[in-house]
């Protein structure tokens, strides 16, 4: 089922663009371990494929992603295993050499928000909601969001999002600098793909240099990801996280 939950469109469909689409609408595109593995493989392929000049992330109608799959979260916490698949994906995301854009329509929760911090440009529909309820689940920020968010939006907004768990509307996200453009829901995909195609059509070497100059070498991002993972893993296996997850699952039930 993973192949249907993460759809990959190669450059033949969109010249120069690899489209990575989260496609698990019945679960609001919650990301499982198997989905993370497929996402990671897609990014590695994009990096190594000369025909790929840009990557576009999309979700489904009304939902980008509700974040991590809770069942996988709990299974990982109980297993005592090492590095989670999500962390491997995030490293691939942070080290992707190709320009990345995202199109967000509707819910963007947890990783559904922090993924966009690594994208070079994000288009969101006016019904989108960005929220990272990490602390509410007794967890901590991930994806180097504790480093990137304050850089992009300043301490106050970053704290409101990552610690207080405040939801950001599409317009608030645009004002905060994590969304480039807000459009109607029906325009998200077309404008995102057009944006990716315009980047893919630019001189690739000049584009790579310019992107690297803006982003920097990224060592600090990878170091922060590792630091966050230590705390995230410890918290995930903690008694307070177990209680928070049980309360969350009870509310859902």
pLDDT at residue 160 in the model: 98
pLDDT at 98 over 70: yes
10: how many CB neighbours lie within 10 A of its CB? 15
Whether 182 and 171 have beta carbons less than 8 Å apart is answered as: yes
- CA dihedral of 211, 217, 219, 221, whole degrees rounded to 10: -30
pLDDT (mean) for 168-184: 98
pLDDT at residue 82 in the model: 65
pLDDT at 237 over 60: yes
* pLDDT tens-digit readout, 208-221: 999 999 999 999 99
pLDDT at 58 over 90: yes
**Considering the chain, what percentage of its residues have pLDDT values greater than 90?**
82
pLDDT at residue 72 in the model: 77
How far, CA to CA in Å, does 48 sit from each of 10, 42, 121, 213, 245?
13, 10, 22, 21, 39
* pLDDT tens-digit readout, 81-92: 667 899 999 999
Average pLDDT value over all residues in the chain = 93
pLDDT (mean) for 26-51: 96
pLDDT at residue 252 in the model: 65
pLDDT at 253 over 60: no
pLDDT at residue 3 in the model: 82
* pLDDT tens-digit readout, 102-145: 999 999 999 999 999 999 999 999 999 999 999 999 999 999 99
Whether 33 and 82 have beta carbons less than 8 Å apart is answered as: no
pTM of the full structure: 0.95
């Amino acid at each position: 089922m993973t192949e249907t939950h993460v759809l990959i469109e190669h450059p033949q469909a969109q010249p120069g663009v690899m489209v990575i689409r989260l496609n698990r609408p019945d679960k609001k595109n919650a990301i499982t371990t198997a989905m993370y593995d497929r996402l990671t493989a897609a990014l590695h392929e994009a990096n190594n494929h000369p025909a790929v000049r840009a990557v576009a992330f999309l979700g489904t109608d009304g939902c980008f992603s509700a974040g991590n799959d809770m069942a996988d979260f709990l299974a990982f916490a109980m297993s005592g295993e090492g590095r989670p698949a999500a962390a491997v994906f995030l490293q691939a995301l942070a080290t992707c050499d190709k320009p990345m854009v995202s199109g967000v329509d509707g819910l963007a929760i947890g990783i559904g928000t922090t993924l966009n911090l690594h994208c070079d440009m994000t288009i969101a529909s006016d019904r989108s909601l960005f929220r990272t309820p990490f602390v509410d689940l007794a967890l901590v920020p991930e994806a180097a969001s504790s480093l990137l968010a304050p850089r992009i939006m300043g301490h106050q907004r970053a704290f409101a999002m990552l610690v207080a768990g405040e939801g950001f509307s599409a317009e608030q996200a645009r004002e905060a600098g994590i969304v480039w453009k807000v459009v109607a829901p029906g325009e998200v995909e077309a404008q995102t793909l057009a944006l990716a195609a315009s980047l893919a059509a630019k001189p690739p070497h000049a584009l790579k240099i310019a992107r690297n100059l803006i982003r920097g070498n990224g060592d600090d991002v990878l170091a922060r990801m590792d630091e966050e993972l230590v705390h995230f893993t410890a918290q995930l296996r903690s008694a307070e996280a177990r209680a928070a997850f049980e309360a969350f699952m009870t509310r859902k039930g």
